[in-house]
Chain A
């Protein structure tokens, strides 16, 4: 049902998810900051939903607080899945 949460898979799903919520695909990278990507809190909620559907990993309210870059979210998902 769910995909194995390896770094490469997670990166692909999160990059695609960010594009889906409106980030400019060319600007998306591990180092990119959400603010620069114009990704707001509701977009992150939707990204969390995508992650849950894909990997079965639930990101709760506090998990995303303080995370500013795409790479931090990728690392968190991999860690939570492990």
Chain B
């Protein structure tokens, strides 16, 4: 995780767009990955990434440094994704399937794990939305169930049930 020089944040808070662009460059990969995995929709993920950064710009004044800027930004991103879905703007899902894996393709890292990771990414993308969202937030992003409940509006028990369901479906998919 890249550290955010506090002067960049302060300058952005004062309206310096160049400073904000530097923050964007440092974090866009994480924000886009989060949007992509939560939605399984590359086009939508790009729209939501833009929405998240515009929202961050609007809210920068409220960032007081109690948490890391990255944590604040990623939480805000999750909010943007879920608010978007609740507002009924979700468009027809363009799920990643074997026909459309390109957006998750990355150059091989030479460790031999890229293929395994791609299989997992595809299996995650094919999960039902509720199970996928909880799995991404819990197992990929490291949020706890009570945090997921706060972010998404579901009960802690529902979060656990969706996680266990996601893991069951993923184990089945990956063992085929």
Question: Is the A/B pair a real complex?
Answer: no
